[in-house]
Amino acid sequence: MIKSSKRIYVALPVMDEIKLLPSCLASIESQSYSNCHVVICINQPEAYWALPEKKHICENNEELLLALAGKSSEKYTIIDKSSKGLGWQVNKMGVGWARKTIMDSIAARANKDDIILSLDADTAFNNNYFESVISVFNKEPKPVALSNPYYHNLCGSEAEDKAILRYEIYMRNYAINMMLIRSPYAFTALGSAIALPVSSYKAIGGMTPKLSGEDFYFLQKLRKYGNIRVYNEEKVHPAARFSDRVFFGTGPAMIKGNMGDWASYPVYHSALFENIRNTYDCFPGLFKEDIQTPLTGFFCEQFRSDNIWQALRDNHRDVDHFVRACHEKLDGLRILQYLKAEQSCRGLIDEHCLYENISNTFSRILGFDKAELLKDLNLKECSVALLDEIRNYLIKVEEKLQKNCETI
């Protein structure tokens, strides 16, 4: 068992989780690393009190507040953003504001070396998860954050299992390709799988709240500050369920996918990432002069300029700082925008991309003995078992890459 003076502060936003929260809290209380404090924000928009179809959420939150009232103040802090008059207003609402509210509260009271550990109420984890997180931040060189590995357990519902497996295939295909080109933004953003020292939180000026997707922007902001650890022996297990409580993310993706719409979550072809890698290779040369890159047309369109490089040259007098500035310009958001535009423009088909990625690129890292089955794959019609085999293969590839780089 690790002995450390670092305290873990669990950041736990909760809305309408009366069934799942007790299990999550039981897992927290059974951790081998006991130096922790849990900050829970019970929240929902204030407008829900006046909406008959949403009032049950308010009532469930009200019941949760009563149940948590008896928790020890030494171990728990409860933030009420749910009771009448205290809910989110129109311009400030959503899980992003809940996470920010919690983390701001933690940052105001914690020591700089203490750890903020972001969780969701529907997430499961082993009893040594917290200890493993402490180990990550005790290693040298110290990362500014951890994007912890994840694994969605299947629930036995064919519709939900197919949807989450398809979504994981999208996420892991993206992450693997990003690691292969050594992108600084090769992390997977899950709000239930992030940890960081309080010092990192303060250094980047805290979390920028979003209605949803706050985890992606948060990690991107952290990556521009320093290196992120992407490997840990322990995984977290977020629930796989249809949910529309956020505007995008796992739950909404599963709902759209179940209706046959995976347009927002394509299986990107590895060739597109090679264009990004080749552009990375151009960055040192761009310090001296304008040269054509595979993404030149994309840059001109996105930034509405024929020359974005001169401004970077003017502000960065040596090549190392210039290259870093280029990576900040072509950040995770811009990469996603490029991938989506190019995938659509080329009319690439998910099944063909998956087959070619596995057969021609990923197999160099780890062979897949069922690759031939993917030639005629139909992601919509194939079995849960085959989707799970593909998902588990991609996990093995991803883990090999994570172990090799550990931090990005």
Q: Where are the beta strands (DSSP E) in 144-232?
A: 145-147, 194-197, 228-229
**65 has pLDDT over 80:** yes
Closest listed residue to residue 78, CA positions, set 64, 89, 88: 64
User: What are 280's two structure tokens?
Assistant: 């990375």
- The pLDDT value recorded for residue 41 is 96
**341 has pLDDT over 60:** yes
Backbone angles phi, psi at 79, to 5 degrees: -105, 120
**364 has pLDDT over 80:** yes
Q: Mean per-residue pLDDT for 119-128?
A: 94
Mean pLDDT for all residues in the chain? 91
Cα–Cα distance, 307 to 283 (Å, whole number): 14
Max Cα–Cα distance, the chain, nearest Å: 66
Confidence of residue 159 (pLDDT cuts 50, 70, 90): confident
Q: What share of the chain is helix, strand, coil (3-state, %, to 5)?
A: 50, 10, 40
Confidence of residue 173 (pLDDT cuts 50, 70, 90): very high
Cα–Cα distance, 33 to 1 (Å, whole number): 7
Cα–Cα distance, 113 to 354 (Å, whole number): 42
Distance of CA 105 to the CA centre of its chain: 22
105 and 5 Cβ atoms separated by less than 8 Å: no
**176 has pLDDT over 70:** yes
For 341, what's the count of Cα atoms within 13 Å in the CB-facing half-sphere? 12
Cα–Cα distance, 182 to 185 (Å, whole number): 8
232 and 146 Cβ atoms separated by less than 8 Å: yes
- The pLDDT value recorded for residue 211 is 66
3-state secondary structure of 375: coil
Closest listed residue to residue 191, CA positions, set 210, 173, 164: 210
262 and 352 Cβ atoms separated by less than 8 Å: no
Distance of CA 257 to the CA centre of its chain: 19
Classify residue 371 by its DSSP letter.
G
**H/E segment holding residue 123:** strand 123-125
Cα–Cα distance, 127 to 278 (Å, whole number): 43
**106 has pLDDT over 60:** yes
Q: Mean per-residue pLDDT for 304-319?
A: 87
Q: Mean per-residue pLDDT for 271-293?
A: 95
| CA dihedral of residues 287, 291, 292, 293 (deg, nearest 10) | -20
pTM of the predicted structure, to 2 decimals: 0.92
- The pLDDT value recorded for residue 1 is 64
Cα–Cα distance, 160 to 152 (Å, whole number): 11
Task: Classify domain 8-150+188-230 by CATH architecture.
Answer: Alpha-Beta Complex (3.90)
Cα–Cα distance, 116 to 215 (Å, whole number): 14
**78 has pLDDT over 90:** yes
- How many residues appear in the chain? 408
**48 has pLDDT over 90:** yes
Q: How deeply is 364 buried, as exposed, middle or buried, from its count of CB atoms within 10 A (0-12, 13-18, 19+)?
A: exposed
- The pLDDT value recorded for residue 251 is 61
pLDDT in tens, 268-278: 999 999 999 99
- The pLDDT value recorded for residue 233 is 94
- The pLDDT value recorded for residue 303 is 85
Which residues contact residue 34 at a Cβ distance below 8 angstroms, ignoring those fewer than 6 apart?
Answer: none
- The pLDDT value recorded for residue 5 is 86
**3 has pLDDT over 70:** no
Q: What is 227-280 written as a DSSP string? A: -EE---SS-EEE------SSSSSHHHHHHHHHTT--TTS----HHHHHHHHHHH
- The pLDDT value recorded for residue 243 is 62
Q: What is 39-107 written as a DSSP string? A: EEEEE-BGGGGG-TTTHHHHHHHHHHHHHHTTS-TTTEEEEEE-STTTSBBTTB-SHHHHHHHHHHHHH
Q: What residue ranges do the domains of the chain occupy?
A: 8-150+188-230, 270-382
Crossing angle (nearest 10°) for helices 270-286 and 319-329: 150
Instruction: Tell me how crowded residue 42 is: count the other CB atoms within 10 A of its CB.
Output: 26
- The pLDDT value recorded for residue 247 is 55
61 and 16 Cβ atoms separated by less than 8 Å: yes
**388 has pLDDT over 80:** yes
Q: What is the CA radius of gyration of the chain?
A: 22
177 and 118 Cβ atoms separated by less than 8 Å: no
pLDDT in tens, 194-250: 999 999 999 999 998 876 678 999 999 999 999 999 999 999 999 875 465 555 567
- The pLDDT value recorded for residue 377 is 92
Closest listed residue to residue 11, CA positions, set 132, 189, 191: 191
